[in-house]
Chain A
Amino acid sequence: MVRQGKGQDAWIVGGHRFLSRLLMGTGKFQDAETMAGAILASGAQIVTVALRRVGRIPEDDDMLGPLQRMTGITLMPNTSGARNASEAIRAARLGRELTGSPFVKVEIHPNPHHLLPDPIETFEAARALAAEGFVVMPYMPADPVLAKRLEDVGCASLMPLGSPIGSGCGLSTAGMLRLILRDARIPVIVDAGLRSPSEAAAALEMGCDAVLVNSAVAAACDPIAMASAFAQAVEAGRNANRAGLMPRGGGTALGTSPLTAFLSVEGS
């Protein structure tokens, strides 16, 4: 029996131990209640938040209020909005001040049309923040060479994109993800682009350690039910990976039941 209890399947990132392999974003939810319900349903233990300037007139919304009252959640501020490494480093420090969390999702995407991460600025920011003691989780292009470089400068995990943020195009980088997985010695988390739970399951099946979703849940008709569906898919994908998939056939069918001579006597 390969399947083991949940407690035996923890994963460790930056010296911190987690059971849930589903990370959740908190953007795009229609209200705080739905967001908190979705996070609860997802079972996520790492939750991303963003940083914004407070206007002169305070906004009434308190999106993160319920979240900060939940227990067992590690907040991971992102550096969204940063256009280069120095802005990201500054955002990371402010995020740590606000959350008290050493985790940071380095996210530098200067082009609003595709929101693809800038590999050079991401690398520079990750290197500096890792040296400062942050648990650095970089949102990155699915590039195996960059992945190794980010690992070498002390990142706690790699977070390659499945496809562009919010696109819902799924695991369009699957081939590159497999190359990253082959060599990575730190957790690999698919971040961005997922639309359906089956894609999350596929990421875990191929060997990714976790996935991070936001739009797929927040923009679903029923975000709380979708969060639950993602949690189940992630667990199924992980269990399938541990169980080991059967070898892929070469296009030839191999029957599972006797196909001929069904009326002949067995052993005759």
Chain B
Amino acid sequence: MELIVNGEAYEAKQPESVAALLEEMGIGGRPVVVVLNDEVIPASSRSTCGLREGDSVELFRLVGGG
């Protein structure tokens, strides 16, 4: 399934849910916030939240900063 991840085309092999996508990307256990089509998906909804062709997914995390 073709998605837009962080603004770039991404071919998802496990598009069943947001949680599955994170696992596929190797960041399943990382503290990230998921934004699906400009809407924040709470961590508790990731395994039930499905994905559709062309969905835009953005992933953010905390880094060092002043």
> Contacting chain B: which of A7-15, A26-34, A143-151, A239-247?
A26-34
Of A53, A56, A58, the contact of B58 (CB 8 Å cutoff): A53
Residues of chain A in range 19-63 having any CB-CB distance to chain B below 8 Å: 25-29, 35, 48-58, 63
Let me know if B40 is at the binding interface, CB within 8 A: yes
- CA gap between A25 and B62 in the complex, in Å: 13
Q: Which residues of B contact A35 (CB under 8 A)?
A: 64
Give B59's nearest chain A residue, CB to CB: A54
- Judge whether B61 and A98 touch: CB under 8 Å: yes
B64 neighbours in A (Cβ, 8 Å): 25-29, 35, 49-50, 63-64
* From B30, B58, B66, contact of A26 by CB (8 A): B66
Given contacts A56-B5, A58-B25, A58-B30, are A97 and B40 in contact (CB under 8 A)?
yes
> What mask results when residues 36 to 60 of chain B are scored 1 for a CB within 8 Å of chain A, else 0?
0000100000000000000000111
Tell me the count of chain B residues lying within 8 A, CB to CB, of chain A.
21
Interface size grouping (class) on chain A = 35 or more
Contact partner of A63 among B5, B31, B63, CB < 8 A?
A: B63
Determine if B27 and A49 form an interchain contact, defined as CB atoms under 8 angstroms apart.
no
Q: Knowing A58-B25, A58-B26, A93-B40 touch, does A98 contact B62 (C-beta < 8 A)?
A: yes
- Asked if B66 and A78 make an inter-chain contact with CB atoms under 8 angstroms apart, the answer reads yes
B31: chain A residues within 8 A (beta carbon) = 68, 98
In the complex, A70 has a CB within 8 A of chain B: no
Taking the complex as formed, is A77 at the interface, i.e. its CB lies under 8 A from any CB of chain B? yes
